[in-house]
Amino acid sequence: MEVIYVKDYEEMSKKGFELIKKVIETKESPVVSLNTGGTPKGLFQHLVEEINQGLDISNTTIMSLDEYMGPKDAVYTVRNFMHKRLFDLIEQQPKNIFLMDGSTEDAESEIKRYKELLENYPRDIQLLGLGTNAHLGANEPGTPFDTTMFLAQHHESTIQSTMKEYGITREEAPTEMLTLGLKEIAEAETVLLLVSGKHKAQAVKDLIEGEISPDCPASILRECKNAIVIVDEDAASLLNK
């Protein structure tokens, strides 16, 4: 795992974007798997700007890390985020968009469908954010490192983060999510984790200085040669210097 320290959210977003841009520019049929939430908003802005200035995504496949269980048009869905912050804003569309369907009644079939896509479209890069409890996707603490795509139950801290991010009540907030498992996350050619803010400082400390254990799901990345973590000063503030 390589750790890159940056000053702030903007620098994190720019550096993260540059790595994704490199994949898009250098791979023949790039497969880019994105995540959503507060962390990647800046990266998405760079992506939109550059695509509209000519970055060619006509051969690129876009996938996603996870999806909340709920109606497709609910304010919190990954689908909504991807459309509002990317697909609706760009003047050319990617070759393929493969999102998960969190509105399904049949999670098992949806997992099977998406796992087949993962096999047919090996990811060149997987973008990630870090939970305040060090989760990746919806792999909450305690999830074994060899887990593959599953329907996860959120821990309370994750539900609280979703409520805050989308301005919704406890009743409105989704409690379950389809998510790639830790095994699949680590399998992407490059795994890119962005972390910003003081509220992530303890999770960053656990990730970088704690034990490698399912109690800290993100610690799986410590043993991944293909993992890059970009951390800003606030998120790094509890690390032993």
Point out which residues bind ligand PGA (CB under 6 A): 37-39, 129-131, 161, 165
Could you give the CA distance from residue 196 to residue 38 in angstroms, rounded to a whole number? 9
Q: How far is the CB of 130 from ligand PGA (least distance, A)?
A: 6
Residues 108, 132, 172, 127, CA torsion sign: negative
Q: How far is the CB of 233 from ligand PGA (least distance, A)?
A: 17
Catalytic site positions: 66, 133, 135, 140
At 50, which amino acid appears? E
Tokens 């006509």 belong to 58
Q: How far is the CB of 234 from ligand PGA (least distance, A)?
A: 12
Supply φ then ψ for residue 156, to 5 degrees. Answer: -60, -40
Q: How far is the CB of 235 from ligand PGA (least distance, A)?
A: 10
At 223, which amino acid appears? E
Residue 162's Cβ-side half-sphere holds a number of Cα atoms within 13 Å equal to: 26
Q: 48 or 177, CB closer to ligand PGA?
A: 177
Q: 55 or 216, CB closer to ligand PGA?
A: 216
Q: Supply the DSSP symbol for 48.
A: H
Q: 48 or 185, CB closer to ligand PGA?
A: 185
Q: 161 or 219, CB closer to ligand PGA?
A: 161
Do strands 2-6 and 31-34 pair parallel, antiparallel, or not at all (unpaired)?
unpaired
Q: Supply the DSSP symbol for 88.
A: G
Q: Which two tokens mark 127?
A: 């973008």
Q: 19 or 113, CB closer to ligand PGA?
A: 19
Q: How far is the CB of 219 from ligand PGA (least distance, A)?
A: 15
Q: Closest Cα partner for 90 from 122, 130, 128, 62?
A: 62
Do strands 227-232 and 2-6 pair parallel, antiparallel, or not at all (unpaired)?
parallel
3-state secondary structure of 125: strand
